[in-house]
């Protein structure tokens, strides 16, 4: 598993190093810190999702569809939150989104989640905030730091011995675009 984490980290660093000529030191540091956090927590949540943003217009044409991938971990090893009740409901992670013909690297800086039960089924509501940096090497927003704030709901569909498979839907407001960006898709959580 350590070899796999090392390989993923190297691949992400390679992509971010060659995708843009601007200084992307912060992205590299975030990827390394995230990989260390995954190794310490021994758990990882992966999400792959389509994106829909009905208000995005690029060059006079609507450009409403995109996609993304996210990798998240609990914040139980963040020193400021160690032993704190907040750590049980907080998460951090990395996201890569492709929206409006541009690739974005997003660091989820703050994420909080809470459990609820509706009709005898468990749901998890969540909020998150992130910094978004275009890194695709083209486009009008290239290198322009932006932010996103949003929330959504998640539920498990299938649980197995070392994790679960679920679905999430969410909505976000990005500073780089007008309107909202909607996401939805499968979520795989694993513990190792």
Q: Note the pTM of the prediction, 2 decimals.
A: 0.70
Residue 80 vs residue 126, higher pLDDT:
126
User: pLDDT per residue over 15-24, tens digit each?
Assistant: 444 444 445 6
pLDDT for residue 28? 73
Convert 14-68 into a string of H (helix), E (strand) and C (coil).
HHHHHCCCCCCHHHHHHHHHHHHHHHHHCEEEEEEEEEECCCCEECCEECCEEEE
Residue 175: enclosing H or E segment and its boundaries? none
Q: 10 or 85: whose pLDDT is higher?
A: 85
Would you say domain 42-191 falls under CATH 1.20.1290.10?
A: no
d(CA 96, CA 46): 12
Read off the pLDDT band of 142 (50, 70, 90): low
Q: What is the average per-residue pLDDT within 50-63?
A: 85
Q: Which segments of 53-179 are extended strands (E)? A: 57-58, 61-62, 65-74, 91-99, 102-118, 121-134, 146-160, 163-174
CB neighbours (10 Å) of residue 52?
16
Q: Is the pLDDT of residue 67 over 90?
A: yes
Domain boundaries, the chain: 42-191
Q: What is the pLDDT of residues 121-141, one digit of tens each?
A: 888 888 888 888 887 655 555
Residue with tokens 């749901």: 123
The Cα–Cα gap between 185 and 66 comes to 13
pLDDT confidence of residue 80:
62
pLDDT at 90 over 90: no
The total of other beta-carbon atoms located within 10 Å of residue 171's CB is 13
Q: Which of 91, 78, 66 is nearest to 152 (CA)?
A: 91
- Using pLDDT thresholds of 50, 70 and 90, give the confidence band for residue 116: confident
183 pLDDT above the threshold of 90? yes
d(CA 56, CA 64): 6
């Amino acid at each position: 598993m350590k070899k796999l984490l090392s390989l993923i980290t190297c691949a992400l660093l390679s992509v971010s190093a060659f995708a843009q000529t601007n200084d992307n030191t912060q992205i590299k540091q975030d990827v390394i810190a995230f990989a260390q956090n995954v190794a310490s927590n021994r758990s990882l949540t992966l999400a792959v999702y389509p994106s829909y943003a009905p208000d995005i217009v690029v060059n006079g044409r609507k450009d409403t569809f995109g996609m993304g991938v996210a990798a998240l971990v609990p914040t139980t090893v963040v020193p400021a939150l160690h032993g704190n009740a907040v750590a049980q409901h907080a998460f951090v992670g990395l996201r890569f989104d492709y929206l409006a013909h541009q690739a974005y690297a997003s660091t989820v800086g703050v994420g909080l989640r809470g459990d609820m039960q509706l009709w005898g089924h468990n749901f998890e509501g969540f909020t998150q905030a992130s910094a978004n940096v275009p890194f695709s090497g083209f486009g009008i927003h290239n290198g322009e730091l932006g932010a996103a704030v949003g929330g959504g709901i998640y539920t498990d569909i299938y649980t197995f011995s070392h994790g679960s498979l679920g679905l999430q839907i969410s909505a976000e407001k990005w500073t780089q675009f007008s309107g909202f960006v909607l996401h939805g898709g499968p979520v795989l959580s694993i513990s190792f």
